Structure 1
Amino acid sequence: MQSAAFFKQALVIITLLFFTIPADSNAEITPKEREKTYKQLEVFANVLSILQDNYVEEIDSSETINGAIRGLLYSLDPHSAYLPPEGFQELQEETQGQFSGIGIEITIKDNILTIISPIEGTPADKAGLKAKDIIVEIGGEKTKEMGAVEAVKRLRGPQGSTITISVYREGWSDLKEMTLTRDIIPLQSVKAFFIAPGFAYTRITNFQSHSTQDYREAIGRLSEKDKIKGLILDLRNNPGGLLNQAVSVADTFLSDGLIVYTKGRTDDQNMSFKAHKSSEDLPYPLIVLVNEGSASASEIVAGAIQDHKRGLIVGTQTFGKGSVQTIIPLPGGAGLRVTTARYYTPAGKSIQALGITPDVEVPFVACNGASNEENVEKTRLRESDLKNHIPGNDLSDNNSSEGTDEDENAHEVRLAQDNQLRTALNILKSLNLYSQFDLVK
């Protein structure tokens, strides 16, 4: 009787999971597809029932089913996931701009927990963690096949608490053990200051619920101090964030036209976002810095600026995360993060697994000269490297905080250590100088 009851319970739960579709969805399941799915669900429920009766230890049915759901989503693509109640709550906190942890964006590559990029100014960044570093252990436990959601849960914790991780980096002979002290990851995502007289450096570390407002306020404070001749927007190692904030930041530089659109299987997943003329639009010459750690929302901004020829994109090929994740709440406080569409730039270029190609490609070279273009290429991690990544589908015809004001010495150090930033500043200075000459004869 217990076995039969468990069988029915499992079948009901899984059926609800698979066939509960939002009311506004146009997705249709044919009778043949429905019959095939029910047969597979029956096999799955039978396996659960057998395990319930015969496994060497008593099985927690809720944990078993949750594990199956996690496995199902994990098999689809790297960004779809089942979020238990605590994970769902953490996601909501993160988009609001506050959580306690070490400050890294992670993913799963070849069943290995891999860093996409550290968030600037966080414990992970200060410890020297880099894109494509592999986290082999968290708190002494192996991470192989742990899953990104579970890894995030372990990496986060109360402010001031510590976590020990073991990291491997290409070129290292041994693992490196690091003990990091968790901290509140900064609410503010915007920095802005003059990198040279008249030339403003701005940075958005990730797109949070108030990033656009913070950005505009930061620019306003700079413009009160000096006339802005040119603007650098640094989106390097920006892992993304909220779509509406990416759209509104791009809208700050554009007066009309398409910013980004999405295309999915159903009509309700097809959306387009356009720029609007505003008195707050920024008219300054613009350079956008990107690299392999620029993903998702930052790629949307770069793609819109590039397609409208509003500014120059400088740096290296971006990560290539051009898929849309929809968050669907579930009973009991859990949630589903499901990939539902792809992003496309105004010209119809797919971002997914392709990324944004800079107008001026400038590989990062460390100030000691140890890095070169070949080494940078070897250490890049992009969407296309991830197992089960969704392929791109190119539709084009051609297929805050204001930050801390830094003194002049700090600017010189920053420029000396950052060849990409130097290139951006030199381009802006050249554009400014060029505009002063009447070259028409």
Structure 2
Amino acid sequence: MRQINKSVLRVLLILSFVIGLSFLSIVLMGRLQDARAVAQDSYQYLEVFNQAVDIIQKRYVKEVDVKDIYYGAIQGILSKLDPHSVHLPPDAFKDMKIDISGEFGGIGIEVGMRDGALMVISPIEDTPAWRAGIKAGDFIVKINGESTEGISLNDAVHKMRGKKGTAVTLSIMRQGWVEPKDFTIVRDIIRIKSVKKAELIDGKFGYIRLVTFNMTTGDEMRQAMENLIGKAGGKLSGLILDIRWNPGGPLDQAVETADLFVSEGPIVSIKGRIPEDNKVIYAQKPNTYIGFPMIVIVNAGSASASEIVAACLQDTGRALILGTKTYGKGSVQSLFTLKDGSGIKLTTAYYYTPSGRSIQAEGITPDVEVEELSPEQEALLEKERQRQEEWRFGEEKLPRYIPHEEVLPGGTVEKEPGLEKPEAKKKTFEEEIMSDYQLRRAVELLKGWEVFQAQMKKASAK
């Protein structure tokens, strides 16, 4: 009987093995067939692509460089994906790496594509574009007189780059304007320090103005904090981190910055299409600056890495976010070098805040919403606009008026003596606070919190 049972058991085991092997074979065959189908589809469309290239080379009205055809094709593919995925020729790819290092030649603006139009994401503070008055949200409709319609992001950046001392003219369209206006901007060597300003307020509240992210941001932030703490006698009563108009930069530097103020828990989560792109980055406890209240000031020019920092500090409760809604870029790009030295910047993942939310195309809503101008400033500005509109009536508004240029010899424009614009006096930091409504509100909140804490201590001591 036992002999029969053993025989039956052997048969059952063999049958199970055969069935399992058969099932595995079916699965593998299915996957192999899927892979073959994908490869067949790819080959089919590759044939179509090569056929199109062959026709262009042979039949187009004039000779076309084969490199231009293939580069254009790559860029065409990427432009169908999202606004941040681009192909960069060797020189442009090299430029991008220089940008990340923190030094490059140009006018100093971060640009992107919005509904097919070239838009300024943010001017970088204290650069030629910033000083010329270029603002976040401006649309660049022409570069040196050439329309930007249909232009790639890469080509636009190259047209605006150039040697120090040379000029580029941008035709800008801004909300509320009837027609574009030209801004002629002289290029300069843009050496970008991440920390633009680090000051003490009332000898105990720190203020850091962080204008961009590059490979030195984490070190600059830590140095700024150490300097402020030293000046405050070893302890801060509060900190304001100002990241308005900060267009972002490398992900690792955003993580380093947030990690300075958060001692535990996730800083950011990265989720992509393949497992290698998925990771959760956690805060490290050593060398964390805690024990004081913190306010982060943001606006529509705060993008990408800036939003990672702000979202982390908001979700963890480490800081209060003040200002206006941020830009809303919730994706991560990776750089890939191609054999000819060109490269691809490709969106490979999305990032999520510590609470698991995405800010893609949504932005970060501040805890305390404060507009750039106070209600009183807005009212005065509107009153002045109306006054100018009512009273401004000059010769040039008369029909068939004679242009000023026709009266001068050779059509040149002369300046009237004594009418040169006087150089503006540089404001002190205290004057900056008083004229900057958002910063003033942040300072008031920190001071109010200190008073509230003192009152609570008195009440608990009774």
**TM-score bracket for this pair, using the shorter chain length:** 0.7 to 0.9
Q: Tell me the SS of whatever aligns to 2:340.
A: helix
1:232-260 Cα offsets, whole Å, 9 max, x none, are: 00111111101111001101001111000
TM value normalised by structure 1: 0.82
Instruction: Give yes or no for contact 1:251–1:281 (8 Å, CA) kept in 2.
Output: no
C-alpha displacement at 1:36, in angstroms? 2.1
- Gap change, CA 1:329 and 1:408, over 3 Å in 2: closer
Instruction: Give yes or no for contact 2:119–2:137 (8 Å, CA) kept in 1.
Output: yes
Match of 1:250 in 2: 258
Match of 2:143 in 1: 138
Q: Tell me the SS of whatever aligns to 1:369.
A: helix
Q: Does 1:203 align with 2:209?
A: yes
Q: Tell me the SS of whatever aligns to 2:168.
A: strand
Q: Pick from 100, 103, 114: which aligns with 1:95?
A: 100
Match of 1:343 in 2: 351
Match of 2:248 in 1: 240
1:132-151 Cα offsets, whole Å, 9 max, x none, are: 11111111211111111111
Alignment of 1:28-43 (within 5 A): 30-43=35-48
Q: Output the CA distance in 1 between the equivalents of 2:352 and 2:163.
A: 39
Match of 1:412 in 2: 430
Match of 1:214 in 2: 220
1:148-191 Cα offsets, whole Å, 9 max, x none, are: 11110111111222111111112122221111111122331102
Q: Output the CA distance in 2 between the equivalents of 1:112 and 1:426.
A: 40
Q: Does 1:424 align with 2:442?
A: yes
Q: Pick from 295, 298, 309: which aligns with 2:317?
A: 309
- Once the two structures are overlaid, the 10-residue window that deviates more, 161-170 or 194-203, is 194-203
Q: Does 1:152 align with 2:157?
A: yes
Q: Output the CA distance in 2 between the equivalents of 1:279 and 1:267.
A: 31
Task: State the one-letter code of the partner of 1:159.
Answer: K
Match of 1:434 in 2: 452
Q: Pick from 101, 104, 110: which aligns with 2:109?
A: 104
Q: Tell me the SS of whatever aligns to 2:44.
A: helix
Q: Output the CA distance in 1 between the equivalents of 2:359 and 2:433.
A: 30
C-alpha displacement at 1:338, in angstroms? 0.5
1:35-88 Cα offsets, whole Å, 9 max, x none, are: 223222221211111111111111211111101111110111000000110111
C-alpha displacement at 1:222, in angstroms? 2.0
Q: Output the CA distance in 2 between the equivalents of 1:125 and 1:211.
A: 21
- Gap change, CA 1:30 and 1:363, over 3 Å in 2: farther
1:18-49 Cα offsets, whole Å, 9 max, x none, are: xxxxxxxxxx9833233223222221211111
Task: State the one-letter code of the partner of 1:114.
Answer: M
Alignment of 1:249-268 (within 5 A): 249-268=257-276
Q: Tell me the SS of whatever aligns to 1:185.
A: strand
- Gap change, CA 1:29 and 1:273, over 3 Å in 2: farther
Structure 2, unaligned stretches of length 5 or more?
1-32, 383-424
Instruction: Give yes or no for contact 2:266–2:280 (8 Å, CA) kept in 1.
Output: yes
Q: Pick from 267, 284, 301: which aligns with 1:293?
A: 301
1:347-399 Cα offsets, whole Å, 9 max, x none, are: 10112222212111112216842679xxxxxxxxxxxxxxxxxxxxxxxxxxx
Q: Does 1:331 align with 2:349?
A: no
Task: State the one-letter code of the partner of 1:340.
Answer: T
* Structure label with greater radius of gyration: 2
- Once the two structures are overlaid, the 10-residue window that deviates more, 64-73 or 357-366, is 357-366
C-alpha displacement at 1:129, in angstroms? 0.6
Instruction: Give yes or no for contact 1:209–1:245 (8 Å, CA) kept in 2.
Output: yes
The runs of 4+ residues in structure 1 deviating greater than 3 Å are none
Match of 1:359 in 2: 367
- Once the two structures are overlaid, the 10-residue window that deviates more, 419-428 or 29-38, is 29-38
Q: How many positions carry a matched residue from both structures? A: 380
Structure 1, unaligned stretches of length 5 or more?
1-27, 373-406
Task: State the one-letter code of the partner of 1:351.
Answer: I
Instruction: Give yes or no for contact 1:100–1:183 (8 Å, CA) kept in 2.
Output: yes
Q: Tell me the SS of whatever aligns to 1:99.
A: strand
C-alpha displacement at 1:262, in angstroms? 0.5
Q: Output the CA distance in 2 between the equivalents of 1:319 and 1:38.
A: 40
Instruction: Give yes or no for contact 1:82–1:335 (8 Å, CA) kept in 2.
Output: yes
Q: Output the CA distance in 2 between the equivalents of 1:360 and 1:123.
A: 32
Q: Pick from 329, 334, 345: which aligns with 1:321?
A: 329
Match of 1:194 in 2: 200
- Once the two structures are overlaid, the 10-residue window that deviates more, 278-287 or 89-98, is 278-287
Structure showing the higher helix proportion among its residues:
2
Q: Tell me the SS of whatever aligns to 2:260.
A: helix
Q: Tell me the SS of whatever aligns to 1:253.
A: coil
> RCO greater where, 1 or 2, for CA within 8 Å and sep 6 or more?
1
- Gap change, CA 1:29 and 1:365, over 3 Å in 2: farther
Task: State the one-letter code of the partner of 1:46.
Answer: Q
Match of 2:232 in 1: 226
Task: State the one-letter code of the partner of 1:412.
Answer: E
Q: Output the CA distance in 2 between the equivalents of 1:315 and 1:359.
A: 8
